Amino acid sequence: MGGKKINLDWWIAAANILANLLILGIYKYFNFFADSFVIACEALGFHPDHVTLHLVLPVGISFYTFQALSYTIDVYKRKIEPTRDIVAFFAFISFFPQLVAGPIERATNLLPQFLRPRSFRYTNTVDGLRQILWGLFKKMVVADNCAPFVNQIFENYESYNGFTLFVGGLLFTFQIYGDFSGYSDIAIGSAKLFGIELMRNFNVPYFSRDIAEFWRRWHISLTTWFRDYIYIPLGGSRCSQLKVMRNTLIIFLISGLWHGANWTFIIWGAYHALLFFPLMLLGKNRKHTGLVADGRWIPTYGEILQIGGTFLFVVIGWIIFRSENIFEAINYITRMCTHVLIEKPFCMHVLKFPLLMLVIEWVQRDKQHALQIKDGSWLSYHGILRWTIYIALFILTIGYMGENEQFIYFQF
């Protein structure tokens, strides 16, 4: 009887997972795989009929599908009891602050919060508003000001010299961070207004000292999801070296594919896997787990080199990510390296916003977000100064906001 029940649970969970992945697959990947299949056949001399679907991609499908999958798997693994409260369940799946672009929440964290009574908490609410303000600054000032120049450079990359192309890659690096982490901050801050605690999604990733640390700080909700639901079930790091590498490669490729139906995303994932392998093989992928320059204002020369080197690798990865196709990515990077001319690009002035963001985030790198003010800190005793900062940041955001651009991660 017990054995039958386990089998039934397995079948239900499997059917549920398959249904979710099927929906995601059809909406997001059908045309990509169909096109790739046709191209491959044509390369072999066959000419199959080309079938494509004209479906509008539902906003946020990648996010809430994974969130639903986490519920199914956690229930199957007995990590959480299945809920009978349909309202709480749908609130968990479709909680508006994080519905369209995450963070991808776990049922073990979010669902119980809907089931227990909540009351207004002043400190949480104020902290939420601060986080929203910081998120708005990153999105409206940093990301939206970089966007037009990024678009112009990437659409006309053949007209620019190498230095300008590098600055274009740099601007996109800041654009995607400002856009995505800004959205996450707004989502987390908004949730706090309702007494809901969402998980942190970004932890100052551009101060990472190696690629492994970068992936522990970038899109944390997604990377931990892959770790817990794919990497560990495949054996994780508790198997042979070859299998560990295989598992790592699978995770990075799926991570790339998750972002969209384009070979550039897959190549981007593979690129990061290649950067990760040396660290893993040398056993140094968990070398940097603490705070960079802990207790110091300035990092050491070694740390500066590590941060700079990691950042450079990340920028190249983002160039691949942003390109329309892999040929464009190759041409862009080739031109960036071969047409080097040190003249001031037309878009240098835009870098002041990301620099300001980086400085503030560096100073506050030990906090959950850049505007977090801990009780007992000197700023917590200076209300007028705090309010001046809030008002100044608010006016700065309104006065320097770029042209309204859609959130990049909405397309995923």
Partner 1 sequence: MRKFIVKIFLFSIIIIAIAICLECYIRTIPNTYSYKHKWIKQHKDSIECLITGSSHAQNGINPDCLSLKAFNIGMSSQNLTYDKALLDNYVPMCNNLKSVILTISYPTFWSKELEETKYWYYCTWYKLYMGIQIHPEWWNRYSFELAKPTFVREKIMAYWKHAPLNYYPNGQGTTKVLNQPTPWYQWESAVNSHTHRKDWSMVDYRKSQLEDIIKLCRQHCVKVVLVTTPTWHTYYDRLYDKQLSKMYEIIREIVAKYPDEVVYFDFLKDARFKEDDFFDCHHLSEKGAKVFSTILNDSIHTKLKFHKNCR
Q: Which residues form the interface with partner 1 (CB under 8 A)?
A: 120, 122, 125-126, 156, 159, 387, 390-391, 394-395, 398-401, 403
Exposure pattern of 373-383 as b/e (b: 16+ CB <10 Å)? Answer: beeeeeeeeee
Rank residues 132 and 212 by Cβ distance to partner 1 and give the closer one. 132
* CB 133, min distance to partner 1, A: 11
C-alpha angle 105/30/147, rounded to 5°? 60
Rank residues 107 and 141 by Cβ distance to partner 1 and give the closer one. 141
Exposure pattern of 170-206 as b/e (b: 16+ CB <10 Å)? Answer: bbbbbbbbbbbbbbbbbbbbbbbbbbbebbebbbbbb
**Residues whose CB is less than 8 angstroms from the CB of residue 196 and which lie 6 or more positions away in sequence, other chains included:** 95, 110, 113, 114, 118
Nearest partner of 176 among 142, 207, 200, 201, judged by Cα: 142
Does the annotation count 259 as an active-site position?
A: yes
Q: At what angle do helices 241-259 and 263-281 cross, to 10 degrees?
A: 150
Rank residues 313 and 400 by Cβ distance to partner 1 and give the closer one. 400
**Residues whose CB is less than 8 angstroms from the CB of residue 308 and which lie 6 or more positions away in sequence, other chains included:** none
**Helix, strand, coil distribution of the chain in percent, nearest 5:** 70, 0, 30
What does the alpha-carbon distance between residue 173 and residue 65 come to, in Å, rounded to a whole number?
27
Rank residues 119 and 240 by Cβ distance to partner 1 and give the closer one. 119
Nearest partner of 218 among 298, 103, 324, 309, judged by Cα: 103
**Residues whose CB is less than 8 angstroms from the CB of residue 368 and which lie 6 or more positions away in sequence, other chains included:** 131, 200
* CB 177, min distance to partner 1, A: 22
Active-site residue identified among 50, 219, 259, 288: 259
Rank residues 161 and 224 by Cβ distance to partner 1 and give the closer one. 161
* CB 184, min distance to partner 1, A: 23
Omega before residue 345 within 30° of 0, cis: no
Rank residues 119 and 338 by Cβ distance to partner 1 and give the closer one. 119
Is-contact 33 50, C-beta < 8 A?
no
Active site residues: 259
